[in-house]
Structures are given as C-alpha cells and as structure tokens.
Amino acid sequence: MSASHDDHHHGPAKGLTRWLYTTNHKDIGSLYLWFSFAMFLLGGTFAMVIRAELFQPGLQLVEPNFFNQMTTMHGLVMVFGAVMPAFVGLANWLIPMMIGAPDMALPRMNNWSFWILPFAFAMLSSTLFMDAGAPNFGWTFYAPLSTTYAPSTVTFFIFAIHIMGASSIMGSINIIATVLNMRAPGMTLMKMPLFVWTWLITAYLLIAVMPVLAGVVTMMLFDIHFGTSFFNAAGGGDPVLFQHVFWFFGHPEVYIMILPAFGIVSAIIPTFARKRLFGYDSMVYATASIAFLSFIVWAHHMFTVGMPIAGELFFMYATMLIAVPTGVKVFNWVATMFRGSMTFETPMLFAIAFVVLFTMGGFTGLMLAITPADFQYHDTYFVVAHFHYVLVPGAIFSIMAATYYWLPKWTGHMYDERLGKLHFWLSFIGVNVLFFPQHFLGLAGMPRRIPDYALQFADFNWISSIGGFLFGASQLILLVVVIKCVKGGKKATPQVWEGAQGLEWTLDSPAPYHTFATPPDPKLIHAQ
Amino acid sequence: MLPKAKLWLSLIGAATILFSTQIQAAWELNMPRGVTQISRDTYDLHMQILWWCVAIGVVVFGAMLWSIINHRKSKGAVAATFHESTKVEIIWTIIPFVILILMAIPATRVLTEAYDSSESEIDIQVTGYQWRWEYRYLRKDSDEEEVSFYSILSTPRDQINNQLPKDETYLLDVDNPLVIPINTKVRFLVTSNDVIHAWWVPDFAVKRDAIPGFINEIWTIVEEPGIYRGQCAELCGIEHGFMPVVVHAVEQEEYDAWYAAKQDEARVAREMANNVVTMSESLEAGEQVYNTTCIGCHQPNGTGLPPAFPALAGSSVVNGDLEANINLLINGVPGTAMAAFGRQLTPVQLAAVVTYIRNSFGNATGDLVQPAAVNTLIQAAQ
C-alpha cells in the first residue's frame, strides 16, 4: 500500500552484478535462502550416503574412513550451511519489513557477510577431493582425534570455520543494530513480533559464542602447527579442555538454531488460529531465560568425561531447569490454538508438526539431562534421535513453514497448495519413520558414528533408512513449489492470509524492492 | 475428506505410541535392566522420566488434538479473544518445576551411589588404543606375575565384507574377553593411549570416557554370571565401530583358576622370547597379528589408505633396513596414526608380523626375524 510508489524510484540492477554488489536486504535474504537450500541438498546427500551404508549390516558402499567423513561433513554443512544461513536469510527479508525499517542498518557489511560464505563452504567441500580426505572426526571435532590424529586437511576446516564465524558475527551485529536503531515510530520493544525478539536474543548469543568457537579452532591450529599443547596431555594440556570450550560454544549454538524457529511458529499459529498469540510477554521472558540458561548447561554433553560429582549435579539441575521456560512456550502455543478458528494451510501444518515433534525432542532432552540415565544414553542413537527431532522437524520444519508462509509476500504469487500439502505429509511421515526407530536403537545399545553394527540392530536401521530416503526425496517437491511460485501462480493480495497481523502484510505482494522509505503510520502497529 | 484422514492418522499415531510400550518388553527395544544394582536403578530412573514425559505428552497433545478437531473454521468455530492469563501461566510454570524436583531427588541419589568407587576388591586398568582395549590387573604385590592383555575384535573380516554369513555375535566378539568374578566390587581405571575412547557395558550401566593422560574411575558389582557385551562409545577414528567390549562374569573359583592360568601364560610368553622360530611359523603367526592389529589402516592387501595410512606393498621402509623397520614398529611415528607397538605386542608377535610384512604383498626381502632380536631392540629403546 503505502510503499508502492517507491518502486520506480530505484529498482534492482540487472544481471549477475545485481547479486554480487547488492546491499538490498531482500536480495541478500534471497541469496541466503537459496544458498541454504543448496547446502541442505548437499548435506542431505551426505546423509543419504550414511543411511545407504547403514541399510544393512556389513560394509557395502563406503570405507569406514569415508563414512566418518560423511558424518562429519553432514553435521557441519547442515548446522553452519543449511540451518544458520536460512535463519539469517529470513531475518534479512523479514526484520526490516516487520519493524518498519527501510533496510538493514549496515547494508554493505550485509553483502560481505553473505558473500564470504560460499567461499568457506567451497573450501570445506574441496577437502573431499584432496588426497588426505575430508575431516573425519565428527562435527564436534574432539581433540586429539582432530589434532594429532587428524588428516592434514584439518587446516582447511579450521579456516572455513573461521570464515563462517566471521559471517555469523557480522550478521548478528547487523541484526542488533537494525532492531535497536531502526524501528519505526510506535514500534516499541514489547510490540515487536516475536520473530524479531527471538532473533535479537539469538544475535546476542551468536556474538557471545562465535568468538569462543574461533578460539577453540585457533588453539587446534596452534597445537597442530606451532607446537603448543592445549589439548595434548603429553605436553601438559588437557583433551577435556577442548570439550569444555567447544560446548561453551556448542550449547548456545543449539539454541541459536531453535530460538528463531520459536519466533516463526509464534507468527504462524496465531494467523491460522485467527486469534492473538497467548502470553506474548511470557514468550519474550521465556526466550530470554532459555538464552541465559544456555550458557550454564554446556557440560551436560560431557557427563561421561569424569567430572567431579558436584559438577555433574550442577549441570544436571541447570539442564532440567530449561524444561520450565520451554514448557511455557509449548503451553502458550497450545493455548493460542485453543478456542481459535483454525484452518490448516501448509504453513500451519508445518507449525503444528513443529510443536508436536519439537516437544518430543524436548522430552528426550529432559531424559538426557538425568545424569545416571545419560550414562546409558550418551553417544548412542538415542542422542542422534533426540537432536534430529529438535533440528529436523524442529528447526528445519520451522524454516519450511516460514517459506510457505511468507513466499506469497516475496514472490507476489500463491504457491501450489496441493503440492505444499503433499510435501508436508511426505516429510512428516518420512521424518518419523527415519528418526523414531533410532530411539529404540540407542536404548538397545547402538553407538552413534559407526559404519556397521551388530545384527540385533538390523531391523530398525533398515526402517530408518527407508524413512531417510523418503524424507530426502520429498525435499525436491519444495524446490518445485518454490520455482513454480517464483515463475507465476495466482496473484497474492497484500494481506495474503486472512488472520495475518503485522507490518509486512500492509505492503504489496510482492513486497516492493524498497519498503518503508518513509515510516509506516503508527496506527498500523498493534500489540502482538 | 482430508480432515477426516488427518484425524485417522493422529489416532493411528497415538495408538502406535501406546502399543509401543507393550512391544518394547517383547522385542528388547528398551534400555536393558542389566545385572547390577546401579543398572537397575538407572533403568528405573529412565522409566520414571519416560512415564512423566508420556503423561505430560498425553495432556498437552490431547488438548491440542481436541482443539484441532473442535476449533476449526470449517466447523464454524469463532475465535475467542483471550490472550493472556497470569494465573494459568503461573500454574504451568510451577507444575513442571515440581515434577523436576521429584525427578532430581532419585537422580541425585543414584548418581551419588554410582560415584562411590571406594573399597574395591579388584582394580583393573582399562586402556583404549586405536582400536583395541588393554586390560591390566593391578597387582597387590610386585613379585606376582602380572596379568595384562589386549582384547581385539575377533569377527572375521570376511563377515564384515559380506563374504561369509554373519555370526550371532557379529562385531561383538573379541579374542580375549575381560574376566571378572561376580558379587565382587571391581574398580576400572579407564585411560587411553591415543585418542578419546569410551568403555561401555550396557548391562552394568558403566560408561566412562578413556582420555589420554588422565585416569577415570568407575566400578561395578555384577550379580549374575554371564557374557556381557558392549562397544566403544566415543568416535575414535576409522575402526571406531570395530572395538567391542566383552566381559565374562564368572564364579569366584572359576575366576581364580582363570587368573592363575593367565599368570602361567605370561610366564611362558616371557620365556618364549628366547625361542627360535621358523619361517613358516612366523608367517602364519604374523598374518594373524596383521589381521587383528594392522589391517584397519594398512588394508588387507597392504595397499593402505594413502596419504594418512601408507601402503606396505612396495614400501621403502618395509623393503629397506630391517632394524629401522623393527624400530618403527616399536616406537611408532610421532604425530601420525602409527602407534608405538613395543608395549602393545609381545616380542614374538612383533617378530612375526615384521617377518610377515617383509615377505607379503609382493615384498620379498626373505628376512626372518627372531623374537630375541626384537627383544634386544625393545630393551635398547627403553
């Protein structure tokens, strides 16, 4: 509406340079999202190799060394290449439109933070073609397997991690600067959509922990090349120090990948329930509590390293506490749906599946917090099932929900609802067939990261692999839906969804290249 | 049409979850109850938290399902306008908190018990290597013959490569299992020689990381005789999936007899280092050592996985100076995956495997190495 006159004033450049030189938040958002999808397919391909090798007992397709490279690359590419950039892409597209800002606060840095990413991943992936092979020490790269005993390509890995970290830090600075400085008049902090809130908190988490990751890989670099002994007991160092530093980054990292998902789901459920989000304030406080707690629970990843009992107890209690704010969120979503007027378009289906399956991941998380029980669960497929439930039907379903939800706003066309629903149902069935049996495998004693297994694990591995292939193949439908929607389709209205609230829905569909060059009318800003 | 289908799917889903607990008992999908007090306590904790989760799940997902069925626009539902309630929010903050406290109490009790490794009757040092376990029974008296041995996967490579049918204990069998007496407090001192491993026996609820340079303690009292199997639980390189843990828990008398036999074996091995071996004996024994110790990196036909794991076929080291070759095996190559085998293998085994690699894979030096010669080099290295 208000911004359409900006259209002719300054459009995008033509050709490749539009994307190379762009400082436009929408272009950069699209770049991030396409890049993330490409990495999702790449990381997914690695996962398919893993599931294919595990289809039957015995070694069939790949050598154990290559198998380890696949598990490592799958984790790294999915975490740093698929999930994180997807959320940054969504933040780029949505935060300025949601808070009534014309663009991100630091547009040139925005360009740079995206364009260093393809180089980082090209470098990381290129190790697959080197003689020494890709990193094979797991995405958690515990020393000394990743230092003294690592393939020589570990140095490329370290450099790639540095670049990814720099990109994330710049992205976070940009988001914080944008949210704190560029909100339209009337957009007070407690009126911000939850997606903006969760991203603001996420950005602080990123700034706090990415330097720690950079630190730990630098310590590795020094151990490998400059004769230090941070993680080498023979030189007076401590391998467990690596784990403490890594998980001080790693645990907040887990929340970095889930907090923006909370924001997305908190936007979608009210829209399709046609009812205001229940407990907005408590959602904000719960997000902040989870972020705080994420800094004091890291050693629950390390219950078996032999910490003193006081440490074990502290980390058990702190970890259990996370269930409280997380519970508040889930209850709020259910209360939002309760006595609503619901319809079930694709974004809502993904959002509901998110709530159910993420909560199941939360339950297993609570089980894992119980230290003595964790001694049995630790490093088994139970853990694999747990974090995949949180990350795939958790984080990734939320990204898909967001894609379907805002796609009409981005492209100006409605997507193919039948294909969208097909994509949802195949993904939903696939993901459960893939990961649910892994709970049983873990409880029955199958360790993670093994290329071959004892015969009693054969049945569930076979089922899990079938689910994996189904889930993997289904993701190509998403690609078809998005391409079809970009090319054409039913014209989308500005409002798009009957129950949608927020500034982005006051703009035309597709959103003009430049929006909110003049601030929106404060009367358009409602409490969430 | 479609809503109905969804309803059915949800019902089927709910039924599956309900029945799966029934199936678990029959199909051994659940955590084992195990054969120690700690393992049973752990199992009970696991079931307790699981049932709390199921109960919470039924309430939360039930409320959600009920809303999905009843509060849909197609049924003419009109949205309510409420969007907060301090009272409700306080209630659903406090209830989970109380449940957590109820869980934390027994968890703390079990953990405290599991951490009390005092007053053990037998102490065994468990050392992880890429990719085998070493068990060393700590002596009460330094005059005793020491019992210490390696425990290596004994599943034949041909089964792993699908050329032979797989045994029932596929990947869970070792050449020398750990033997402990039942009803005795056994303390394990867990450490590692290279990367981090984790020693795990599910039936004992014992899992502890083996960390180079550090020693972790853990203990068990096994109540039933039997063979208990587990695996390395921490990614430790290529053969991580191929280093099982097998423990025989036996009656005290059987344990004593076994221990005495092991002491005799150690005495004989010490003496055998002076024996003279023939070429054919050496090649046969060397092949055995190669297939359990070297094959993971250097591969069945000696081609290795260059550059990290060099080929032995045609290698300048294997075809070069004999003494240098033996020393390399004894001392390893620092900074690489090549471990120092001087202590891991006996002089007899070292001599045999050097003879074997220098006369196999197309290498034809014709060298026959005697254990005594290796022994001399080991003494020199120390």
pLDDT score of A259: 97
Instruction: Output b/e per residue, A187-225; b: 16+ Cβ within 10 A.
Output: beeeebbbbbbbbbbbbbbbbbbbebbbebbebbbebbe
In contact, B29 and A444? CB cutoff 8 Å: yes
In contact, A48 and A468? CB cutoff 8 Å: yes
In contact, B231 and A447? CB cutoff 8 Å: yes
In contact, B177 and B248? CB cutoff 8 Å: yes
Rounded Cα distance between A278 and A430, Å, is 31
Answer whether A130 touches B (CB < 8 Å): no
Q: Which residues of A are catalytic?
A: 74, 103, 139, 167-168, 251, 253, 255, 266, 300-301, 326, 329, 448
- Whether B176 shows a pLDDT value over 50: the answer reads yes
Eight-state DSSP code of residue A391: I
Q: Which residue has the higher pLDDT, A409 or B139?
A: A409
Query: For residue A217, what are its two tokens?
Result: 């890989």
Kindly list the residues from chain B whose CB atom is less than 8 angstroms away from the CB atom of residue A312.
111, 115
Q: Which CATH superfamily is domain A4-345+494-524 in?
A: Cytochrome c oxidase-like, subunit I domain (1.20.210.10)
- Owner of token pair 């997305």: A264
Answer whether B154 touches A (CB < 8 Å): no
pLDDT score of B13: 54
Tell me the whole-structure pTM to 2 decimals: 0.88
At residue A491, what are phi and psi to the nearest 5 degrees? -65, 135
Task: For residue A132, give the nearest of B24, B80, B307 by CB distance.
Answer: B307
Residue of B92, B194, B218 for testing the chain A interface, max A β-carbons within 10 Å? B92
Domain boundaries, chain A: 4-345+494-524
Model pLDDT for residues B257-310, shown as the tens digit of each residue: 999 999 998 888 778 777 888 888 889 989 989 988 888 889 888 988 887 788
- Owner of token pair 């099932």: A385
Q: Which residue has the higher pLDDT, A55 or B337?
A: A55
B37 contacts: CB under 8 Å, gap ≥ 6? B113, B221, B223
Fold of B122-271: Immunoglobulin-like (2.60.40)
Answer whether B110 touches A (CB < 8 Å): yes
pLDDT score of B242: 95
- Whether B17 shows a pLDDT value over 70: the answer reads no
pLDDT tier for residue B4 given thresholds of 50, 70 and 90:
low
Pairwise CB contact (< 8 Å): A340 & B41:
no
Paired strand residues for A29: none
At residue B272, what are phi and psi to the nearest 5 degrees? -60, -20
Kindly list the residues from chain B whose CB atom is less than 8 angstroms away from the CB atom of residue A448.
235
Kindly list the residues from chain B whose CB atom is less than 8 angstroms away from the CB atom of residue A151.
308
Q: Is A166 exposed, middle or buried (0-12, 13-18, 19+ CB in 10 A)?
A: middle
Percent of chain B at pLDDT above 90? 58
Task: For residue A60, give the nearest of B162, B214, B237 by CB distance.
Answer: B162
Kindly list the residues from chain A whose CB atom is less than 8 angstroms away from the CB atom of residue B41.
372
pLDDT tier for residue B344 given thresholds of 50, 70 and 90:
confident
B68 contacts: CB under 8 Å, gap ≥ 6? A337, A342, A352, B10
Model pLDDT for residues B58-95, shown as the tens digit of each residue: 999 999 999 999 999 999 888 888 888 999 999 999 99
Q: SS3 breakdown of chain A: % helix, strand, coil, rounded to 5?
A: 70, 0, 25
Answer whether B88 touches A (CB < 8 Å): yes
pLDDT tier for residue B10 given thresholds of 50, 70 and 90:
low
Instruction: Compute the average pLDDT of residues B124-150.
Output: 90
| ipTM attached to this prediction | 0.91
Domain boundaries, chain B: 31-75+82-114, 122-271, 273-381
Find the residue in A nearest to B231 (Cα). Answer: A447
Fold of B273-381: Cytochrome Bc1 Complex; Chain D, domain 2 (1.10.760)
In contact, B105 and B111? CB cutoff 8 Å: no
Answer whether A376 touches B (CB < 8 Å): yes
Q: Which CATH number fits domain B31-75+82-114: 1.10.287.90, 3.40.800.20, 1.10.3720.10, 3.60.70.12?
A: 1.10.287.90
Greatest distance between any 2 Cα atoms in chain A: 69
Interface of A with B in 199-238 (CB under 8 A): 233-234, 238
**A391: Cα within 13 Å, side-chain hemisphere:** 21
Kindly list the residues from chain B whose CB atom is less than 8 angstroms away from the CB atom of residue A234.
212-213
Q: Helices (DSSP H) in A444-506: which residue ranges?
A: 458-487
At residue B228, what are phi and psi to the nearest 5 degrees? -115, 135
Kindly list the residues from chain B whose CB atom is less than 8 angstroms away from the CB atom of residue A279.
83-85, 89
Q: Secondary structure of B57-77 in the HEC alphabet? A: HHHHHHHHHHHHHHCEHHHCC
Interface of A with B in 16-35 (CB under 8 A): none
Answer whether B280 touches A (CB < 8 Å): no
pLDDT score of B271: 80
Task: For residue A370, give the nearest of B49, B114, B305 by CB distance.
Answer: B49
Answer whether B208 touches A (CB < 8 Å): yes
- Helices (runs of H) and strands (runs of E) counted in chain A: 18, 0
pLDDT score of B178: 97
pLDDT average per 10 residues of sequence, chain A (528 residues): 49 85 95 97 97 95 95 97 97 96 96 96 96 94 94 96 97 97 95 96 96 97 95 94 97 96 97 95 96 96 96 96 95 96 96 97 96 96 97 96 97 96 97 97 96 94 96 97 95 94 93 93 83
pLDDT score of B1: 42
Answer whether A477 touches B (CB < 8 Å): no
- Whether B3 shows a pLDDT value over 80: the answer reads no
- Whether B222 shows a pLDDT value over 90: the answer reads yes
- Whether B343 shows a pLDDT value over 80: the answer reads no
pLDDT tier for residue B57 given thresholds of 50, 70 and 90:
very high
Pairwise CB contact (< 8 Å): A131 & B306:
yes
Taking the CA of residue A453 and the nearest CA in chain B, the distance in Å comes to 7
Model pLDDT for residues B112-130, shown as the tens digit of each residue: 999 999 999 999 999 999 9
